[in-house]
């Protein structure tokens, strides 16, 4: 059980750290990120709402207070990572490593979290 708990927290901290890094970049370097989104033919107005959604998703994953909201937070973070991986792969910019790491550690955090930190309705 101790190994699972340590694995859960390592996976969760890595995942949350990558999303926090991404969100802070969206807030601090908004113009650069907007231009990158436009180069990928995504709307630039989505940058700040996406950063806010990432921060809220991380808060929900760490808090785990409302079960259905925690499930949606994990789903949202997973979809974000999948779409980021697809966008970086399509752009062939070699920046897909962080999204690939998240795609590895996010399911570990999710499934171990169900055992380590069960939620009750």
Residue 7 pLDDT: 97
Query: Which is more confidently placed, 95 or 45?
Result: 45
Residue 104 located in a structural domain: yes
**Average of pLDDT values for 10-14?**
98
Q: What's the domain count of the chain?
A: 1
Confidence at 29, pLDDT banded by 50, 70, 90: very high
Range of the domain at 55: 2-116
Residue 83 located in a structural domain: yes
**Average of pLDDT values for 86-107?**
92
Burial of 119 per CB tally in 10 Å (0-12, 13-18, 19+): middle
C-alpha to C-alpha distances, 10 to 45, 48, 96, 109, 113, nearest whole angstrom: 33, 28, 21, 8, 11
Residue 121 located in a structural domain: no
Residue 89 located in a structural domain: yes
Residues 6+ apart with CB under 8 A from 47: 26, 30, 33, 34, 37
pLDDT in tens, 54-92: 999 999 999 999 999 999 999 999 999 999 999 989 888
> Residues 70, 78: contact at Cβ < 8 Å?
no
Q: Is residue 121 over pLDDT 60?
A: no
Q: Is residue 51 over pLDDT 70?
A: yes
CA distance 103 to 112: 15
Residue 68 located in a structural domain: yes
Residue 91 located in a structural domain: yes
């Amino acid at each position: 059980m101790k190994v699972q708990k340590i694995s859960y927290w390592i996976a969760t901290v890595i995942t949350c750290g990558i999303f926090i890094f991404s969100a802070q970049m969206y807030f601090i370097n908004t113009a650069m990120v907007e231009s990158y989104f436009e180069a990928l033919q995504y709307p630039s107005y989505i940058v700040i709402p996406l950063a806010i959604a990432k921060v809220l998703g991380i808060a929900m994953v760490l808090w785990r207070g409302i079960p259905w909201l925690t499930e949606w937070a994990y789903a949202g973070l997973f979809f974000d990572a999948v779409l980021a991986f697809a966008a970086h792969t399509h752009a062939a910019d070699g920046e897909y490593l962080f999204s690939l790491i998240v795609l590895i550690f996010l399911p570990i955090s999710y499934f171990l979290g169900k055992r380590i930190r069960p939620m009750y309705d």
